[in-house]
Structure formats: structure tokens, C-alpha cells
Amino acid sequence: MKIGVVRGAFLNPWEGQNFEPLLKNHQLIAFGAKKILAPPGKIPVIHLWSPTDLPDFPKKMPILNRLMIDAHYLLGLEKQLQGFDIAHCAETYYHYTQQCLRARKRGWVKKVVATCWEIIPFNNEGIWGRKSFKQQAFREVDLFITPTKKAKHALIQEGCSPEKIIVVRMGVNLDKFKHQTTNQNPKSLKILFVGRLAEEKGVWDLLEVFRQLLIDLKNFSINLVLIGAGREKKKVLKWINHVSIYQYINTRVVEYWEMPKEYQEADIFVFPSKPITTMEEQYGMALVEAMAAGLPIVTTRCGAIPEVVGQAALLVNPGDQKQLYSALRELIESEERRRVLGLKARQRAEKEFDRDKTASQLEEIYIQLLNG
């Protein structure tokens, strides 16, 4: 098969690894904007110009989206898809999804598949034309893939036929993301956070809780590693220096291929995401990576997180600093609790989030579509 993975500016390696195994038996090409989140691993990429490539300016994306319904348009994509069996795009309201459908109408691509992560029904409909984009996608996309049941239910509520939706978990390379014991001192612990440094990721809750843990647990040596960038990074760094705990916190940005090592060097993973009006946690690939690494996890009941982690994490209410403190303290003080929860996490990753199984599911779906 000749398969095109269309992601525009959102092309990335954490999702891309789920397609990589298809390279063994099929021709696989990713289509991205000139500027993408990160290269998608071993998958060859065709970069096409997109309005998202324009230099940043105040309110760039809101302005572009209102001018053209959605700015994730890839110049010349339709012609590039000539001769493809499958165009695998994302979401119902992205412009490149409409382009894939136009290519299908012209007979340039045989089938169109769309992965939809959105879990809030009727979200992203405030901009003119997007509701129409969604309805056209519901009519013309051959099959929708959702990583969670929650995303499937959101599509159904918006009017998509349940028969056109299949739930397929996005996984990780379990050979790379794996457990490795490096810490021999149960009193010296590293807590890891991976994500955007933004209010909705619960960063401020985590910082306040960590500061209190430093005060209360003098008999432990605990450090916090924050991996990620984000709009709040400058404020975070200023706060850390202001309260004089900078020697206990490390903030950095890490390339994706280096991430397995970061998980292996950690003792506890924390992901205190919280909902805002237009966003709830859709999945949390960092949670999947942490489970694969066999880390004990503290996270929140936000969006699809409970569905993703199951019983393999300590769940607290979003924004509840007292619960977050108690859960982290429980793991810090109990080596056995960490061991048991970390084992559950790895077992869940092997069962639910193996990228090789995901790739096999995708291959089977494509074949059935083409033969159906």
C-alpha cells in the first residue's frame, strides 16, 4: 500500500512511531508543513508550505483561522496525494482533512482515514465554516480512528455514525521506553513532569506542592525535573528563584529520542493536568511513556486520563493541591508502593500501548477499507 500520513504543522515523533513499523511492507510518506513539531522518526517527509509557517505575530492563529476557517492548509497537497491508497489525516475541522477529501473526489487517493483526539463535543465550532467542515467530514471520510472511547463518544454526539469509528490506542516503542533501575537510594528521589509549562497542565499546583514537600520531608532528598517549554516558562523560572528552591528543580527541553533516558532516571512521574473551557486532556502521551518505563504515576481525573491509565496510577481531582500532596507523599515515603504501582504501569503499557500492535491494527484497517 501507499500511505500518506497528513499532519501539517503537528507532525511529530510520538504519534509517528505508531506508523513506523508499516515501513517494512508498505510505502509510507508523511506530509508536514515547513515548520513542524519534530521529525516523525524514520518516516520520510514531504514538507509543503502552510499559513502556519508564517512568522509569529500577535494573535497569529486566531487571525489566520478566522480568515480561512482553519490555517492548517498544505499548499499542493491534493496533487501530492495522486496515486496514494490511503490518506490518513487528523480531526474533522482541519483544512488538510478537507484537502484529502478533495483529492479523493478527484480520484487521486482511494480512501481517507481521520484520527480524532478531541473529547469535547462541539468544540472548535466558534469560527465560521468549521461546523460545515465537520459535517462534510462526517459524510465523506471513510473511517474515523479515535485513541479513546471518550473521543468516539464526542464524535457520535456531533453527528458521526458510530459504524464509522474505531478505537485504536496510540502506543510507544516498548523496546525504547522501558524500565531501568538506576537509583539505589530510596531516600533520594527524582520526580519527573513532562509537558507544556502552562496553567492547564497543573504546573503551578505541582510547584506549590513540591515546595511544601521540601519543607515537610527533611529526611528525604527530592528533586523535581520539569521537561518542556510553554508560555508560562519565564514566570515559572522567576517563581522558582523567588522562593529560593532553584537548587531542587531542573527545567529543560529534551529531544524526543532522548526521552527514554529521562524516564529511566526518574523515580516518580507526575502529570497534574486540569481542564479549561476549551480543553481537557485528550490522551497524555507522556503518561503512556511513563507507564512503559514502569514509573509510579500521580495524575488527575481530567479528560481522558482515567481511561488511559486505568488502575495503573494514583488519581486525584484536578487542581486539588491537598490530594496531589498526599499522593506524592505516599509514593515518596513507600518504596514498596512505588514498586507495585510501577509494575502495574508497565503491564498496562504492554497490554494497551504497544506501538507494534497499533501498527498492525492500522494495517488491518487499511486493507479492509481497500478491499471493502
Residues with Cβ within 8 Å of 368's Cβ and at least 6 positions away in sequence, in order, are none
pLDDT at site 256: 94
Cα distances (Å, whole numbers) of residue 297 to 121, 137, 222, 329, 330: 28, 37, 16, 12, 11
pLDDT at residue 184 tops 80: no
pLDDT tens, 208-263?
999 999 999 999 999 999 999 988 999 999 999 989 999 999 999 999 999 999 99
pLDDT at residue 186 tops 90: no
Model confidence at 182, pLDDT cuts 50, 70, 90, reads low
Worst-scoring range by mean pLDDT, 176-185, 233-242, 260-269, 271-280?
A: 176-185
Worst-scoring range by mean pLDDT, 183-187, 251-255, 273-277?
A: 183-187
Domain spans in the chain, listed from the N-terminal domain onward: 2-171+355-371, 188-352
pLDDT at site 291: 98
pLDDT tens, 333-350?
999 999 999 999 999 999
pLDDT tens, 188-198?
999 999 999 99
pLDDT at site 194: 97
**pTM for the whole structure:** 0.95
Kindly state the percentage of the chain with pLDDT values over 90: 93
Most distant CA pair in the chain: distance in Å?
Answer: 69
Query: 188-352 has which fold?
Result: Rossmann fold (3.40.50)
Model confidence at 187, pLDDT cuts 50, 70, 90, reads confident
Architecture of domain 2-171+355-371: 3-Layer(aba) Sandwich (3.40)
Taking residues 291-319, what's their average pLDDT?
A: 97
pLDDT at site 105: 97
